[in-house]
Chains A and B, each alone.
Chain A
């Protein structure tokens, strides 16, 4: 949970509403996998805090999304069906580093470090350091055919 309070946020109420509607549509909750949606209060707070330095870029993207929703469907984006919200989000997220893509990137960053999500994926909810991880050293006899073939570099 980020160490921030809502009043610190540069996002207006309308922007927050659109943003939460977007992230919840992009990564919805899953009862089958016992996973929250990205609009879960803890994850959403993390997203809003992480997105703060990118407010200008994201606000512009949210405005575009609201405009597309109004043009095509009439109601506000946040009131649309989740499938339509996800479809619009996909359309405007062309790149990781611009506009809505920035918000999708931040959403994934915050979602996939949540304890509940990590546990559901079979991960320990912890930082890599200091415990690290084990991986098998491997069977180096796999190199036998490479050795048998002999040298391949060019003599000069």
Chain B
């Protein structure tokens, strides 16, 4: 047994880093257990000639394809969308593109506005100061004045528009539709020890320049300097409880594979919308036979991805191709509900700048636009640096039959049961995807595209994992309360995307981190009576 700690955080990703940094000022003894490693940015793919190939192997977004020792497998055979994640200090921020939108005020009130799902127990105004604090910590680039949002400031100027952004922006303008420079977690100026973006173009395989705000280079250096201890290659098997029904600590396997018990006064779970229910369901006891914090039976239910549509145009003139960050501009023309569209809620378009030479070849060859054999090179040159388009990121509504459970057979390298995903695309999501494909085809055509390649949903696009330990005031209909504490266990907190009530139609990381800061602040304000 190791020495007891005040706060034990499981997971060093987007939310674990934020909560650790915020709690560090209390001078409590805080330890974070992370199953992955500290990454070495010098070894990221953009440092080598095989930078595109490694996105299909050791830096793949899929843990099942990547198969690092630090990964756990996910059985997602029964889902049209497969799980994407990364296990390291920094978590999935190592591989995310750095799209960094906030939720909108309406996203917290979907039941009131649209009669679906549930309202959140908090709202945009409550979260706004934490969004702003997180923006400073992560270093957000963008342009103030976006008419799709309440007023908000940007820390740095936006990423370049580039040729692709300009072409597609003109398409939006022809149709009279909204677009705006994306808010991004990419430094466009030197910022807090990070260098500015130099348009490497491989953001989703790790940023060798350090311009992209992964939490290993944003929150963690500050948290560690403030006294937080991070233990890597430590995989938590279960959360233990004592006779009072309180969390007593965790059992984990250390870097040598030796089982350890870490006692703690407070346990904070930050393992994402799949890893968190997996851990809770694996933490059974006489008091919690269905898994810890699962009296409601909702742990692992209401899994939400964001179904993505990919719509890529082929243009006559060369655009940005492999150069520049994937993030560029966005459109929220179809964000708020319009009943005439045949679905509720909406989606965001995020414009993709282009793709590299290998991705161009694969896109062309597997869509039939580049032949195998004769004519290959001529067709390739019609696509190279001439593909640009967008993704539509659709709001996914919670449905209890979309679940994370424990696989009866599949385990990780330590024999811990792996997560199993059962997920069905809803009729509302299907209609939204179809709408996104149709409207974006109009935009790309207006922008001058001569052909359009579509995929909806993107099968490998399970980047966003949400809803499986939802937040709420009713213990029968939620897992944690309105400030992240488990209804069943008064010293157990959850701070990642699993506490989302609904998903919104935007990337979740900025909101995940704002929530983590809000929960940490709630804990600090209640330190004297935290367990009441």
Query: Which residues on A are within 8 Å of B, measured CB to CB?
Result: 25-28, 30, 32-33, 35, 50, 53, 82-83, 85-87, 89-90, 93, 95-97, 101, 104-106, 108-113, 117-118, 121, 123, 125-140, 142-143, 145-147, 149-156
Q: Are B56 and A105 in contact (CB under 8 A)?
A: yes
Report the nearest A residue to B165, measured CB to CB.
A138
8 A-B pairs with CB atoms under 8 Å apart are A86-B371, A112-B357, A121-B381, A127-B47, A127-B49, A139-B166, A146-B147, A156-B123
- On whether A96 and B376 interact (CB within 8 A), knowing A123-B357, A133-B199, A153-B336, the answer reads no
Q: Are A86 and B373 in contact (CB under 8 A)?
A: yes
Chain B nearest CB, measured from A143 CB (Å): 7
Report B-chain residues with C-beta under 8 Å of the C-beta of A82. 373-374
B105 is an interface residue with CB less than 8 A from chain A: yes
Pick from A28, A128, A154: contact of B202, CB under 8 Å: A128
**A-contacting residues, B47-99, CB 8 Å:** 47-53, 56-57, 65
Report the nearest A residue to B41, measured CB to CB.
A129
**Highest count of chain B CB atoms <10 Å: which of A33, A108, A121, A140:** A108
Among the 9-residue stretches B168-176, B217-225, B491-499, the one with 4 or more Cβ atoms under 8 Å from chain A is: B168-176
How far, in angstroms, from A147 to B169 measured CA to CA in the complex?
13
Report the nearest B residue to A2, measured CB to CB.
B50
- On whether A101 and B180 interact (CB within 8 A), knowing A132-B199, A137-B160, A138-B161, the answer reads no
Q: Are A86 and B372 in contact (CB under 8 A)?
A: yes
Report B-chain residues with C-beta under 8 Å of the C-beta of A146. 147, 172-173, 178-180
Q: Are B160 and A136 in contact (CB under 8 A)?
A: yes
Pick from B145, B150, B162, B361: contact of A153, CB under 8 Å: B150
Q: Are B372 and A150 in contact (CB under 8 A)?
A: no
Report A-chain residues with C-beta under 8 Å of the C-beta of B208. 128-130
How far, in angstroms, from A114 to B348 measured CA to CA in the complex?
37
Chain B nearest CB, measured from A9 CB (Å): 18
Report A-chain residues with C-beta under 8 Å of the C-beta of B179. 143, 146
Q: Decide if the interface of chain B is mainly helix, strand, loop or mixed.
A: loop
- On whether A149 and B176 interact (CB within 8 A), knowing A86-B372, A129-B208, A135-B320, the answer reads yes
Pick from B124, B172, B374, B377: contact of A86, CB under 8 Å: B374
Q: Are A147 and B147 in contact (CB under 8 A)?
A: yes
How far, in angstroms, from A104 to B361 measured CA to CA in the complex?
10
Pick from B47, B104, B333, B362: contact of A96, CB under 8 Å: B362
Pick from A104, A129, A142: contact of B166, CB under 8 Å: A142
Report A-chain residues with C-beta under 8 Å of the C-beta of B169. 142-143
How far, in angstroms, from A149 to B65 measured CA to CA in the complex?
46
Q: Are A104 and B161 in contact (CB under 8 A)?
A: no
Q: Are B200 and A128 in contact (CB under 8 A)?
A: yes
Q: Are B199 and A137 in contact (CB under 8 A)?
A: no
How far, in angstroms, from A127 to B112 measured CA to CA in the complex?
52
Pick from A110, A117, A139, A152: contact of B332, CB under 8 Å: A152
How far, in angstroms, from A140 to B360 measured CA to CA in the complex?
29
Q: Residue-by-residue, is B405-418 near A (CB-CB < 8 Å gives 1, otherwise 0)?
A: 00000000000000
Q: Are A127 and B332 in contact (CB under 8 A)?
A: no
Q: Are B46 and A96 in contact (CB under 8 A)?
A: no
Number of interface residues of B (CB under 8 A): 74
B446 is an interface residue with CB less than 8 A from chain A: no
B130 is an interface residue with CB less than 8 A from chain A: no
Q: Are A112 and B358 in contact (CB under 8 A)?
A: yes
How far, in angstroms, from A118 to B357 measured CA to CA in the complex?
9
B139 is an interface residue with CB less than 8 A from chain A: no
Q: Are B358 and A30 in contact (CB under 8 A)?
A: no
**Highest count of chain B CB atoms <10 Å: which of A28, A128, A140, A143:** A128
Chain A nearest CB, measured from B43 CB (Å): 11
Top-10 shortest CB links A-B = A138-B161, A132-B198, A86-B373, A133-B323, A109-B53, A112-B357, A108-B361, A129-B208, A128-B200, A156-B105
Q: Residue-by-residue, is B192-221 near A (CB-CB < 8 Å gives 1, otherwise 0)?
A: 000000111110000011000000000000
Q: Are B46 and A129 in contact (CB under 8 A)?
A: yes
Q: A96-B366, A109-B358, A156-B106 are in contact. List 7 more A-B contacts (CB 8 A).
A: A86-B374, A93-B365, A105-B362, A128-B51, A146-B178, A149-B147, A154-B113
B148 is an interface residue with CB less than 8 A from chain A: yes
Report B-chain residues with C-beta under 8 Å of the C-beta of A138. 160-162, 165-166
Pick from A108, A131, A139, A154: contact of B365, CB under 8 Å: A108
How far, in angstroms, from A33 to B382 measured CA to CA in the complex?
14
**A-contacting residues, B270-327, CB 8 Å:** 320, 322-324
Q: Are B147 and A83 in contact (CB under 8 A)?
A: no
